[in-house]
């Protein structure tokens, strides 16, 4: 039995994706890599998309997938990517921590390109195939910050709230065609993105880095531990499985109770 502090070992149990093709963005690291791994374990053919070519190649090799080195900040990102995608996981993202008045506009814009425009462009790219096949699954890796705000995260909170809206529109338009679209909303997950944030949060709050996880990151979470990437991947794969066809337009908190408070 899996306890509250032990991540699941078989996150793809009961899900058969043998005739499905998936595309996961930001799959070279962290949550995206865990999603790619879990989808492949369920039998899907997985396209691994990441700006970091070496990371994409390593992730694809591990799961027998296909690597694509693509900068998702580009407007022409979809060129060269396959359109025959049944499962789209919009996961790639980045963080920047700064007070609003000091938030660099170019960083704000980049975050929106990667976390809002890229999902929009990939939806445009993938929806015709899903519609023709009468089945599709869109999983948008949002955040508890798609539902709640935190100080010093203007770019991230605004982008994730926009992704929530995009996901809901895809749910409404996809419903007649067997396509579901949902957001998964993690709290703090043990990934390189969070490791990078610890130093930034320490500076923003004026405390030592070792106090950031306990006093800042987990302050609003009822469960006082970081989430493992596999726990988020488990929800993403579950949304592609046989029992979740009626779940659409939803936002599923994986946040240890943060948004319940």
Residues in contact with ligand NAD by CB under 6 A are 26, 28-32, 50-52, 55, 70-73, 91-94, 114, 141, 143, 186, 188-189, 191-194
Contact in structure between 59 and 1 (CB atoms under 8 Å): no
Contact in structure between 86 and 21 (CB atoms under 8 Å): yes
Q: Is 132 or 222 the residue whose CB approaches ligand NAD more closely?
A: 222
Least distance from ligand NAD to the Cβ atom of residue 160, Å: 7
Least distance from ligand NAD to the Cβ atom of residue 211, Å: 18
Measure the CA–CA gap between 191 and 237, rounded to whole angstroms: 19
Phi/psi of residue 116, nearest 5 degrees: -125, -55
Least distance from ligand NAD to the Cβ atom of residue 167, Å: 13
Helices and strands per DSSP (H, E), number in the chain: 8, 7
Q: Is 201 or 248 the residue whose CB approaches ligand NAD more closely?
A: 201
Measure the CA–CA gap between 220 and 222, rounded to whole angstroms: 6
Q: Is 92 or 235 the residue whose CB approaches ligand NAD more closely?
A: 92
Least distance from ligand NAD to the Cβ atom of residue 6, Å: 19
Q: Is 36 or 135 the residue whose CB approaches ligand NAD more closely?
A: 36
Catalytic positions are 156
Measure the CA–CA gap between 38 and 236, rounded to whole angstroms: 9
Contact in structure between 58 and 52 (CB atoms under 8 Å): no
């Amino acid at each position: 039995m899996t306890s509250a502090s032990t991540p699941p070992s078989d996150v793809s149990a009961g899900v058969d994706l043998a005739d499905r093709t998936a595309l996961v963005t930001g799959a070279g690291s962290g949550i995206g890599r865990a999603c790619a791994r879990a989808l492949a374990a369920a039998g899907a053919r997985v396209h691994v998309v990441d700006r970091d070519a070496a990371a994409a190649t390593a992730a694809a090799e591990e799961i027998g997938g296909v690597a694509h080195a693509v900068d998702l900040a580009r407007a022409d990102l979809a060129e060269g990517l396959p359109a025959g995608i049944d499962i789209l996981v919009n996961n790639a993202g980045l963080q920047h921590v700064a007070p609003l008045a000091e938030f660099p506009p170019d960083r704000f814009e980049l975050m929106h390109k990667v976390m809002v425009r890229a999902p929009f462009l990939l939806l445009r790219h993938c929806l015709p195939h899903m519609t023709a096949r009468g089945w599709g699954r869109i999983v948008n890796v949002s955040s508890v910050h798609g539902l709640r705000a935190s100080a010093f995260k203007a770019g991230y909170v605004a982008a994730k709230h926009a992704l929530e809206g995009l996901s809901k529109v895809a749910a409404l338009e996809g419903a007649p065609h067997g396509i579901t679209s949902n957001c998964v909303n993690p709290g703090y997950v043990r990934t390189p993105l969070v490791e990078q944030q610890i130093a930034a949060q320490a500076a923003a709050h004026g405390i030592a880095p070792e106090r950031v996880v306990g006093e800042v990151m987990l302050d609003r979470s009822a469960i006082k531990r970081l989430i493992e990437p596999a726990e988020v991947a488990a929800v993403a794969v579950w949304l592609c499985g046989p029992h979740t066809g009626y779940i659409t337009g939803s936002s599923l908190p994986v946040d240890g109770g943060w948004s319940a408070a």
